[in-house]
């Protein structure tokens, strides 16, 4: 029920965003017909191209979350998810560290998209980035999963703003931390940015009690969680357990 509620919310937002962009696109096409010559030609062409790209991103976004309410939550190994994401992304020449722990979380399948968003944002905006670290530890409030980097960090004034779908900001933006927060909230998880500007970004996901566990393999079962070194193969990565 919560997943379907989120799906309806995201669908409404996407519909609203696309409709607004089409309105602006129609306006530029009208101007194009009225003033086809330079110096307006280049400006209108660029604006129209940007709008088409933004609408394309919106459509792609709907593909990502369209099955949000159809697949039930399940148990996912945190280290394996993180390493899978890092393998998919081009992390060269960044050093990636992930402790091969046994923590599992109860989440919807799109939780992988959350970790993908965090790592992708670090790679795109870290500027001075040379390493990304994933850790997990238990607190009285629940399990904290942290993903931090040593890039330029996020200014204090933007720590909450990055999770919001501001007016005029595409909900289908490729670095959608807004979507990440919505996905996590389905199973009661929260996410905050707690890093220091100039020292690096740090995203902390709080998993409430009752929705995480330690994986214990059956006797004589060889089912160890796979560590980062098994997932990320470039030889110049420096992985530690």
Domain boundaries, the chain: 2-65, 74-231
Residue 209 has pLDDT above 90, yes or no: yes
Q: Tell me what percent of the residues of the chain surpass a pLDDT of 90.
A: 36
* Predicted pLDDT at 233: 36
Residue range 27-64, pLDDT digits in tens? 888 887 777 676 767 777 888 888 888 788 777 767 76
Asked whether the beta carbons of 2 and 186 are under 8 A apart, the reply is: yes
Asked whether the beta carbons of 154 and 201 are under 8 A apart, the reply is: yes
Residue range 58-87, pLDDT digits in tens? 777 677 677 666 677 899 999 999 999 999
What are 29's two structure tokens? 């096409």
| Cα angle, residue 16 at apex, residues 59 and 170 outer, rounded to 5° | 60
Q: What is the pTM of this model?
A: 0.71
Minimal CA–CA distance to 17: which of 63, 71, 54? 54
Q: How far is CA 9 from the centre of its chain?
A: 18
**Do strands 131-139 and 142-149 pair parallel, antiparallel, or not at all (unpaired)?**
antiparallel
Gap between the Cα atoms of 119 and 91, Å rounded:
9
* Predicted pLDDT at 18: 84
Residue range 130-165, pLDDT digits in tens? 999 999 999 999 999 999 999 999 998 889 888 886
Gap between the Cα atoms of 158 and 25, Å rounded:
29
What are 187's two structure tokens? 């199973």
Pick the CATH number of 74-231 from 2.60.40.10, 3.30.565.10, 3.30.530.20, 3.30.9.10: 3.30.565.10
Measured in residues, the chain has a length of 241
Q: With 0-12 CB in 10 A as exposed, 13-18 as middle and 19+ as buried, what is 61?
A: buried
Q: 197 vs 8, 130, 194, 205, 228, CA distance in Å?
A: 35, 16, 9, 19, 27
* Predicted pLDDT at 237: 38
* Predicted pLDDT at 221: 53
Strands (E), the chain: 74-77, 95-98, 103-107, 131-139, 142-149, 190-193, 202-208, 212-214
What are 24's two structure tokens? 């602006």
Longest dimension (CA), the chain: 77
């Amino acid at each position: 029920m919560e997943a379907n509620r989120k799906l309806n919310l995201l669908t409404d937002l996407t519909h609203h965003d696309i409709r607004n962009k089409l309105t602006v696109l129609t306006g530029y096409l009208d101007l194009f017909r009225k003033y086809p010559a330079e110096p307006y030609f280049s400006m209108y062409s660029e604006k129209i191209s940007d709008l088409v790209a933004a609408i394309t991103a919106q459509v792609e976004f709907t593909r990502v979350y369209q099955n949000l309410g159809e697949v039930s939550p399940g148990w996912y190994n945190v280290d394996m998810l993180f390493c899978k994401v890092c393998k998919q992304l081009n992390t060269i020449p960044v050093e990636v560290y992930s402790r091969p722990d046994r923590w599992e979380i109860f989440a919807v399948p799109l939780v992988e998209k959350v970790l993908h968003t965090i790592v992708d944002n670090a790679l795109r905006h870290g500027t001075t980035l040379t390493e990304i670290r994933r850790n997990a530890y238990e607190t009285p409030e629940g399990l904290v999963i942290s993903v931090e980097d040593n890039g330029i960090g996020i200014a204090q004034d933007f720590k909450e703003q990055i999770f919001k779908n501001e007016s005029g900001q595409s909900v289908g933006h490729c670095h959608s931390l807004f979507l990440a927060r919505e996905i996590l909230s389905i199973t009661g998880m929260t996410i905050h940015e707690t890093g220091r500007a100039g020292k690096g970004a740090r995203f902390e996901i709080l998993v409430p009690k009752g929705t995480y566990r330690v994986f214990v393999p059956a006797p004589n079962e060889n089912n160890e969680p796979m560590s980062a070194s098994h997932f990320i193969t470039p030889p110049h990565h420096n992985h530690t357990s």
